[in-house]
Amino acid sequence: MFTRFRARNIGLFGATCTLALFSYNLFKPIYADEKKLLTQTQIDSYVRDGYLVVPRLFTQAECKQIEQQMNTLVKEFDAEQSRVLSIIQPHQINPVIEHYVKHERVASVLSQIVGAHIPFWDGSVKAFQSMLFIKPPNFPGQAWHQDELYIPTRDRSLTAIWIPLEDVTVENGCLWVVPGSHRQGIMYPTRPHNNNEEYEYDDTCYGFDEKLGKPIEMKAGDALFFNGYLLHKSLKNRSTRYRKVLTNHYMTATTLFPYTLKCKCGQLHYIADTDCRNVLLVSGSDPYVAKGYVQETITHLRVLNDDGVVVKQFKS
C-alpha cells in the first residue's frame, strides 16, 4: 500500500518513536470504491441527532473473535483477568484488532458520516484510538461527558464507534445519550458528580437537561456511532455478567489533531500547528502524509490493584 523511503527517530515524552515518511503519490485511497452502507436518511439523522445505531455491523462470529483477542491480550500482559477493566490502544500490538478498527464495513459508514457536516468533505477518515472495555458486575459507570474533551479536533469531526460484544441493556451498563447535544459545538462545564456508587472518579458535565437522556440498548454486533460533542454516560453494571465492548475514535483525515502540546524551549509553539501523527488511515487519502507517522506504542491495561484503585499496567 505504501513505500517507506526515509525514517528517523524522535524523542517523545522520554520514549523513542519512529517517524516514517512516505511518498504522497504512492499512498492510494482506501475503500474509495466500497459500497456505501447508509442511506441519506441515516446520514441526516446522524448530523441532526449526533448519533446513529447501525444494526448487525459485526456478526456473532466476529464478536467472538474480538473477545478471543481480548483474552489473549490479557494473558500477554500477565494480568489477572478479574482485575482488568480495559485495554487501551490494543490495535497497536494486535493485528486482528487493527483489522476491526479499519474494517471495510466500519470504514464505509465512517466515510459517510464523520465529516457529513463539513462542505466538500471527501470521505477521508483517520483513526486515533481503540479500547476494549471489560466492565465487571457492580462496577460503576462514567458520568455525563464529551469525548472531545479528551480527543480534540479542529473541525468537530471526532466520531466514536461503540460495539458491544454481547447484548447491552440498562441493567448491565449500556450507553445513554442526549440527542442533539452536539449541535452548537459547546464544551459543557464540569464538576464533581458526588455519586461514587453510580460513577467512576471523572467529573460530570452540567448545564443541560439530564431528563433528555435516553438509553441505547443494543444487541451484540450492533454499532453505535456518535459525535465527540455528544453528551453521553453509562451507569453501574447491575447485572451478574461482564459488559465487553470495542470502542474506537476517528476523525476526518483533513483535520489537524492537537492531542498533546510539546514545549519547545526558546521557540514559539502554536496550537494551530500541533498535529499528532500517531494515527491510522481508515478511508480515503491523507493530505498530510508527507509529515509521516509517529509509530509510538502506548498499549496498556487499566486494572484494579489490591487496594481497589485503578492503575495502568504496561508489558513487563
Domains of the chain: 30-313 (2.60.120.620)
pLDDT computed for residue 43 by the predictor? 98
pTM of the model: 0.88
pLDDT computed for residue 54 by the predictor? 98
pLDDT computed for residue 245 by the predictor? 98
pLDDT < 50 stretches in the chain = 1-33
pLDDT computed for residue 316 by the predictor? 75
- Kindly report the three-state secondary structure assignment for every residue of 243-310: EEEEEEEEEECCCCCCCCCCCCCCCCCCHHHCCCCCCEEEEECCCCHHHCEEECCCCEEEEECCCCCE
pLDDT computed for residue 268 by the predictor? 61
pLDDT computed for residue 267 by the predictor? 60
